[in-house]
């Protein structure tokens, strides 16, 4: 049984490939390239996911979409029991579990609102001027929140690698890409640590284009 990952170039689907490599789970990739002009996914991605979004995986015929759901699913289904050695999930009984729940949601539900607003409003030029200060303020505040709350060990939950780090890798990369490395040096160091993981490098090798990295 092999997991199939419908993987879009330059996308948060890299999170899924990275975790699969960390877990040592076999997988195959169906690759999609973003349109060179619009950056949008090709229409074929609407086959595996009606919204035409990546990532989406199929595991023995079961479809799982949404990167947070996929990461949680893979850890539960294909990793050691939560809280045990080698697991990417914390013990469900402890405080770390609550932090895990928060960070698993933060990247996609809170952080991405100002990110997307900035992208779309930015295309309006002068017409967006009244909105921009609020958008910039919110983006900075969300990045500062992550910077202030990443642990001294440069992990988001506990002091080892976990599913929360996988989820937060993409927001941290965006912070760096958006020029926040000086204001968020710990997030920048976290991104470097992620990219130094042999599993991340193998995922990048198999998945292809991933922004400038
Ligand atoms: N919340 C979803 C977001 C999925 C998403 O928007 N994926 C982007 C890639 S980073 C995509 O497929 N964009 C292509 C498009 O909208 O055309 C998740 O975490 O999986």
- Å from CA of 54 to ligand 1 middle: 5
- 73 and 110 housed in the same domain: no
Q: Name the closest-CA residue to atom 10, ligand 1.
A: 11
pLDDT band at 39 (very low <50, low <70, confident <90, very high): very high
Q: pTM of the entire structure? A: 0.97
pLDDT tens string 116-166: 999 999 999 999 999 999 999 999 999 999 999 999 999 999 999 999 999
- 64 and 11 housed in the same domain: yes
Ligand 1, residues at Cβ distance < 6 Å: 8, 11-12, 40-41, 52-55, 66-68, 108
Residue 159 has phi, psi (to 5 degrees) of -120, 20
Q: Which atom of ligand 1 is nearest to the CA of 68?
A: 19
Q: Which atom of ligand 1 is nearest to the CA of 39?
A: 17
- 82 and 111 housed in the same domain: no
- Å from CA of 51 to ligand 1 middle: 9
pLDDT tens string 50-95: 999 999 999 999 999 999 999 999 999 999 999 999 999 999 999 9
- 109 and 183 housed in the same domain: yes
- 185 and 109 housed in the same domain: yes
**Maximum distance among all Cα pairs of the chain, rounded to whole angstroms:** 54
Query: Pocket of ligand 1, candidates 38, 54, 166: which has the most ligand atoms within 8 Å of its Cβ, to mutate?
Result: 54
Q: Which residues of 135-169 are buried (b: 16+ CB within 10 A; e: fewer)?
A: beebbbebbeebbeebeeebbbbbeebbbbbbbbb
Residue span of the structural domain in which 106 resides? 95-197
> Which CATH number fits the domain that encloses residue 149?
1.20.1050.10
In the block, which residue shows the tokens 């919204």?
Answer: 51
Tally of domains within the chain:
2
119 in any annotated domain? yes
212 in any annotated domain? no
213 in any annotated domain? no
């Amino acid at each position: 049984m092999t997991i199939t990952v419908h993987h879009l170039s330059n996308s948060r689907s890299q999170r899924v490939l990275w975790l699969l490599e960390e877990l040592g789970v076999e997988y195959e990739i169906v690759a999609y390239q973003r349109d060179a002009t619009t950056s949008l996914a090709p229409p074929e991605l609407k086959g595996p996911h009606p919204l035409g979004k990546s990532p989406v995986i199929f595991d023995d015929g079961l479809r799982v979409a949404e990167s947070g759901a996929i990461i949680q699913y893979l850890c539960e289904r294909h990793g050691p029991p939560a809280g045990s050695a080698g697991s990417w999930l914390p013990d469900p009984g402890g405080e770390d579990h609550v932090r895990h729940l928060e960070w698993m949601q933060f990247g996609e539900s809170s952080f991405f609102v100002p990110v997307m607003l900035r992208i779309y409003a930015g295309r309006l030029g002068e017409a967006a001027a009244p909105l921009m200060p609020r958008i910039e303020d919110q983006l900075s505040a969300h990045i500062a929140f992550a910077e202030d709350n990443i642990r001294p060990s440069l992990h988001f939950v506990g002091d080892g690698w976990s599913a929360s780090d996988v989820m937060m890798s993409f927001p941290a990369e965006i912070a760096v890409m958006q020029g926040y490395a000086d204001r968020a040096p710990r997030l920048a160091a976290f991104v470097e640590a992620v990219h130094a993981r042999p599993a991340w490098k193998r995922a990048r090798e198999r998945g292809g284009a991933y922004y400038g990295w």
